[in-house]
Amino acid sequence: MYTLLSGLWKYMFQKDEYNVSILGLDNAGKSTYLEQTKTKFTKNYKGLSLSKITTTVGLNIGKIDIGHVRLNFWDLGGQEELQSLWDKYYAESHAVIYIIDSSDLERIDESKEAFDKMVINDALKEVPILVLANKQDLEGCMRVIEVKKVFNTSAPLIGHRDCKMLGTSALKGDGVHEGIEWLTDCIKRNSMNRPPLQRDIT
Distance CA 183, CA 97 (A): 9
Distance CA 41, CA 70 (A): 11
Q: Is 28 annotated as a binding residue?
A: yes
Q: Is 30 annotated as a binding residue?
A: yes
Q: Is 56 annotated as a binding residue?
A: yes
Distance CA 194, CA 127 (A): 8
The DSSP call for residue 53 is -
CB 56 within 8 A of CB 131: no
Q: Is 15 annotated as a binding residue?
A: no
Q: Is 111 annotated as a binding residue?
A: no
Q: How far, CA to CA in Å, does 152 sit from each of 9, 117, 165, 182?
A: 47, 15, 11, 21
Q: Is 122 annotated as a binding residue?
A: no
Q: Is 31 annotated as a binding residue?
A: yes
Q: Is 95 annotated as a binding residue?
A: no
Query: Radius of gyration of the chain from Cα atoms?
Result: 17
Q: Is 36 annotated as a binding residue?
A: no
Q: Is 29 annotated as a binding residue?
A: yes
Q: Is 78 annotated as a binding residue?
A: yes
Q: Is 134 annotated as a binding residue?
A: yes
From the annotation, which residues make up the binding site? 24-31, 56, 78, 134-137
Binding residues for GTP: 24-31, 78, 134-137
Annotated binding site for Mg(2+): 31, 56
